[in-house]
């Protein structure tokens, strides 16, 4: 273990996924107005990208049923507001609302995609290529998510060759960035190091973002390790919104506050106002009536920064 400050990035970017990945994993379905205010608060923190919703089946994910009216009600023009779309239909719904950036998703595990979107990984790329074709015609930016990159709740440990293959397929689709997700939060620093070292031998790491879940508390250690490989984009969720569907009661996405506090302590710029982020977290946590799994959030609320 060696910490070479000179190897650190001077600045990182956070992709806030609370309104989508966070809220869709919360039992309670919020009012549109509350989500709108939440996103407005987030839009004033300095965050440059906020994934605001997903255009999916309201039957499958009732938390996102209001995606069209929510997106249309937003009046935010200075930052990116990507929306998740699972297929051509979702894409068309997103387009009808004026969505300018989309997020596509697959995984490294067929067992996972079968249970999650009822198709194999190959079939998911068939679906996504239809969407990608249309998106390119409309000059819509695309971001890709790889779920179960390190482990799958059904298939167990995943190998790095499968990860490289799926990342490459996303890049071939024309996404500007691939977000690698530790969906069930099982990755440890040595596995992250091994997999990213392998990827870095084959692809341009400036196109890679990391999406860690803090299910077992190792998200920040994994982020530290990721920065060695030139990774400067991390997904996180304010307040640590969103539990883990595969470990009820456990934490999900790493909290944006925790990532900001870590970067702050490392002297790495984020251009995000930590106090404003905590205020946005407090707002939405109160609406959800839940406590934050973020230790920083709790220390801050109880004693100040």
User: Closer CB to its own copies, residue 201 or residue 303?
Assistant: 303
**Which pairing describes strands 156-157 and 233-236: parallel, antiparallel, or unpaired?**
unpaired
Smallest gap, in angstroms, from Cβ of residue 218 to its own copies? 6
**Which pairing describes strands 151-152 and 208-212: parallel, antiparallel, or unpaired?**
unpaired
Smallest CA-to-CA distance from 148 within 211, 240, 103, 199 is with 211
Size of interface with its own copies, in residues (CB under 8 A): 49
Contact letters (x/-) for its own copies, 174-193, by CB under 8 A? Answer: -----------x-xxxxx-x
Q: Supply φ then ψ for residue 91, to 5 degrees.
A: -60, -45
Query: Is 201 one of the binding residues for its own copies (CB under 8 A)?
Result: no
Query: Is 234 one of the binding residues for its own copies (CB under 8 A)?
Result: no
Return the residue of 68, 224, 276, 282 that touches its own copies, per CB under 8 A: 224
**Which residues in 70-129 contact its own copies (CB under 8 A)?**
none
Hey, which residues does 186 pair with through a beta bridge?
none
User: Known catalytic residue: 119?
Assistant: no
Query: Is 156 one of the binding residues for its own copies (CB under 8 A)?
Result: no
Ramachandran area for residue 217 (φ above 0: left; ψ -120 to 50: alpha; else beta): left
CA 129/CA 168 separation, integer angstroms: 13
Return the residue of 142, 218, 238, 277 that touches its own copies, per CB under 8 A: 218
Query: Is 246 one of the binding residues for its own copies (CB under 8 A)?
Result: yes
Strands laid side by side in the 101-107 sheet: 49-50, 13-16, 233-236, 208-212, 177-182, 141-147, 101-107, 83-84, 53-54
Hey, which residues does 269 pair with through a beta bridge?
11
In the complex, the residues that contact its own copies under the rule CB under 8 A are 1-5, 7-8, 185, 187-191, 193, 214-218, 220-221, 224-225, 227-228, 244, 246-251, 255, 258, 261-262, 264-267, 293-296, 298-299, 301-303
Q: Which residues are catalytic?
A: 244
């Amino acid at each position: 273990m060696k910490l070479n400050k000179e190897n650190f990035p001077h600045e990182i970017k956070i992709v806030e996924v609370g309104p989508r990945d966070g809220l869709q994993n919360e039992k309670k379905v919020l009012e549109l107005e509350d989500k709108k205010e939440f996103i407005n608060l987030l839009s004033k923190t300095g965050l440059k990208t906020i994934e605001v919703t997903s255009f999916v089946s309201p039957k499958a994910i009732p938390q996102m049923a209001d995606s069209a009216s929510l997106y249309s009600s937003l009046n935010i023009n200075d930052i990116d507001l990507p929306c998740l779309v699972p297929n051509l239909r979702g894409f068309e719904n997103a387009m009808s609302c004026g969505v300018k950036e989309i997020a596509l998703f697959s995984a490294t595990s067929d067992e996972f995609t079968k249970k999650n979107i009822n198709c194999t990984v190959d079939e998911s790329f068939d679906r996504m290529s239809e969407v990608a074709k249309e998106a390119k015609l409309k000059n819509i930016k695309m971001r890709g998510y790889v779920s179960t990159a390190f482990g799958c709740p059904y298939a167990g440990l995943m190998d790095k060759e499968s990860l490289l293959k799926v990342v490459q397929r996303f890049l071939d689709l024309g996404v500007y960035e691939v977000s690698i997700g530790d969906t069930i939060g099982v990755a440890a620093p040595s596995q992250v190091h091994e997999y990213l070292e392998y990827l870095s031998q084959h692809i341009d790491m400036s196109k890679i973002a990391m999406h860690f879940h803090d299910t077992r508390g190792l998200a920040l250690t994994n982020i530290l390790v990721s920065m060695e490989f030139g990774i400067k984009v991390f997904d996180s969720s304010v307040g640590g919104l969103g539990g883990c569907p595969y470990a009820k009661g456990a934490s999900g996405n790493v909290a944006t506050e925790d990532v900001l506090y870590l970067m702050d302590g490392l002297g790495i710029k984020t251009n995000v106002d930590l106090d404003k982020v905590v205020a946005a977290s407090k707002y939405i946590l109160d609406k959800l009536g839940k406590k934050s799994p973020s230790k920083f959030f709790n220390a801050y609320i109880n004693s100040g920064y």
